[in-house]
């Protein structure tokens, strides 16, 4: 390619100029709404004054970062952010795999389709409605969950105002909403298993469980690794919209995460530079996690994002 004379390359570009028109809107979109904001990150190192603009504002170096690291809420924010994400990863990651493996064993088409259709459905519920459902179902006085608890002889639990419950509520509502949808990609991978493997295994006297363990699960490993890398890379950014909706002054001590803090400080309190610095800190940690996990995966399983 590189050795091709320049003239020929230029002619090819000219010949296909219309293709560049096709790509132009997308190019402009990513340039304006993604790359200009990247340029804007520098306000994290400046004292941004809107009237002076990004360029004209004064450099202050790492002042905003230092202020964030030294603040009394820093460790709480980090603890909540990581706590919620890791909790979600541990509970939420294996479930779609288990459900997909189970669905794959069912030969009855109608039953399989019913389970799939129903478990996919919550994926399409908006995050606002989801938050509304959580709040309505978990209400101490009127929610159905607490009516059940009382029926079983327990005391009602004020889920939304008790900080100890926030993470569990967040994680399990997410499991309810997205486990079914998460099976799709694993089911697609499982449909690629050669039936001859199973036939041979059956002839050799393998039980169903052994076949799942020795044939199906190894098939899923590359998909699992890719999804795991992606999830870990997003560890600090997960589910921010739902957290924002479920947050209230009473559960703040366990629900305040970096992303909601950026929203609060930046958009509500208009501390643009400080919030941008906190956001950048978050993004850098994400990038480091992504790269690290990708490297580990590459070494261990030869599957990686790049």
Partner 1 sequence: MNSAINETGVDKFMKIFIYIFLTFALLIVLYPLIYIISASVSDPAAVNSGEMWLLPKGFTLEGYKMILENDEIWRGYLNTIFYTALGTLINLAVTIPAAYALSRKDLTGRNFFMGMFVLTMFFSGGLIPTYLVVKSLGLIDTIWAMVLPNAAAVWNIVIARVFFQVTVPKELEEAAIIDGCSNFKMFMKIILPLSAPIIAVMALFYGVGHWNSYFNALIYISDKDLFPLQLVLREILVLQEMSSQSTNLTGNMAEALHSKQQLAAIIKYGVMIVSTLPVIIVYPFLQRYFVKGVMIGSLKG
Pick out residues in 47-76 that bind partner 1 (CB under 8 A).
Answer: 54
x/- map, 129-148, partner 1, by CB under 8 A: x-xxx-xxx-x-xx-x--x-
- What's the burial of 257, exposed, middle or buried (CB within 10 Å: 0-12/13-18/19+)? buried
CB within 8 Å of 282: residues ≥ 6 apart: 81, 236, 237, 258, 259, 262
- Work out how close the CB of 86 gets to partner 1 at its nearest, in angstroms, rounded to a whole number: 20
Pick from 77, 84, 171, 189 the residue near partner 1 by CB under 8 A: 189
Pick from 126, 152, 155, 302 the residue near partner 1 by CB under 8 A: 126
- Work out how close the CB of 189 gets to partner 1 at its nearest, in angstroms, rounded to a whole number: 8
The alpha-carbon radius of gyration of the chain (Å, integer) is: 25
Helices (H), the chain: 6-15, 17-30, 36-40, 53-56, 63-70, 74-92, 94-105, 109-120, 127-138, 144-151, 163-190, 195-203, 208-211, 217-233, 240-246, 252-255, 258-262, 272-301
- Work out how close the CB of 125 gets to partner 1 at its nearest, in angstroms, rounded to a whole number: 6
Which lies closer to partner 1 via its Cβ, residue 223 or residue 231?
223
- Work out how close the CB of 299 gets to partner 1 at its nearest, in angstroms, rounded to a whole number: 20
Longest dimension (CA), the chain: 83
Pick from 60, 127, 228, 252 the residue near partner 1 by CB under 8 A: 127
Pick from 193, 198, 252, 285 the residue near partner 1 by CB under 8 A: 198
Size of the site for partner 1 (CB under 8 A): 100
CA distance 100 to 79: 32
Pick from 52, 90, 221, 287 the residue near partner 1 by CB under 8 A: 287
Decide: is 171 part of the binding site for partner 1 (CB under 8 A).
no
Stretch that binds partner 1, among 55-63, 80-88, 111-119, 213-221 (CB under 8 A): 111-119
CB atoms within 10 A of CB 91: 15
- Confirm if 139 and 146 have CB atoms less than 8 A apart: yes
Stretch that binds partner 1, among 64-72, 77-85, 116-124, 213-221 (CB under 8 A): 116-124
Decide: is 18 part of the binding site for partner 1 (CB under 8 A).
yes
Window 235-264: residues binding partner 1 (CB under 8 A): 241, 244-245, 248-250, 259, 262-263
- Work out how close the CB of 4 gets to partner 1 at its nearest, in angstroms, rounded to a whole number: 10
Cα separation values, 209 from 102, 139, 206, 219, 289, Å: 11, 41, 8, 15, 34
Decide: is 105 part of the binding site for partner 1 (CB under 8 A).
yes
- Work out how close the CB of 18 gets to partner 1 at its nearest, in angstroms, rounded to a whole number: 4
Pick from 283, 285, 296, 298 the residue near partner 1 by CB under 8 A: 283
The DSSP string of 46-113 is: EE--TTTHHHHSEE-TTHHHHHHHHSTTHHHHHHHHHHHHHHHHHHHTHHHHHHHHHHHH---HHHHH
- Work out how close the CB of 247 gets to partner 1 at its nearest, in angstroms, rounded to a whole number: 8
């Amino acid at each position: 390619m590189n050795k091709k004379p320049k003239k020929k390359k230029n002619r090819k570009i000219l010949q296909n100029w219309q293709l560049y028109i096709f790509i132009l809107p997308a190019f402009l979109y990513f340039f304006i709404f993604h790359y200009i904001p990247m340029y804007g990150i520098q306000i994290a190192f400046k004292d941004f004054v809107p009237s002076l603009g990004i360029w004209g504002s004064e450099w202050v170096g790492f002042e905003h970062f230092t202020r964030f690291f030294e603040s009394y809420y820093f460790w709480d924010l980090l603890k909540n952010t990581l706590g919620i994400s890791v909790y979600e990863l541990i509970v939420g990651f294996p479930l779609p795999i288990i459900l997909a493996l189970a669905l794959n064993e069912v030969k009855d088409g109608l039953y399989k389709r019913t389970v799939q259709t129903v478990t996919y459905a919550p994926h399409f519920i908006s995050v606002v409605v989801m938050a509304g459902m959580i709040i309505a179902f978990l209400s101490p006085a009127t929610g159905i969950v607490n009516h059940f608890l009382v029926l079983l002889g327990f005391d009602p639990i004020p889920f939304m105002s008790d900080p100890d419950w926030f993470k569990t509520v967040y994680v399990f509502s997410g499991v309810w909403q997205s486990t079914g949808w998460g099976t799709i990609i694993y089911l697609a991978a499982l449909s690629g298993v050669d039936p001859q493997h199973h036939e041979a295994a059956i002839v050799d006297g393998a039980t169903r469980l052994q076949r799942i363990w020795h044939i199906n699960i190894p098939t899923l490993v590359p998909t699992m690794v890719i999804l795991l890398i992606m999830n870990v890379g997003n560890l600090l950014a997960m589910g921010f919209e739902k957290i924002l909706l479920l947050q209230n002054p009473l559960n703040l001590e366990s629900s305040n995460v970096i992303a909601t803090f950026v929203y609060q400080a930046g958009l509500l309190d208009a501390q643009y530079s400080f919030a941008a610095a906190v956001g950048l800190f978050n993004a850098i940690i994400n990038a480091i996690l992504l790269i690290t996990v990708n490297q580990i995966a590459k070494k261990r399983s030869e599957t990686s994002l790049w």
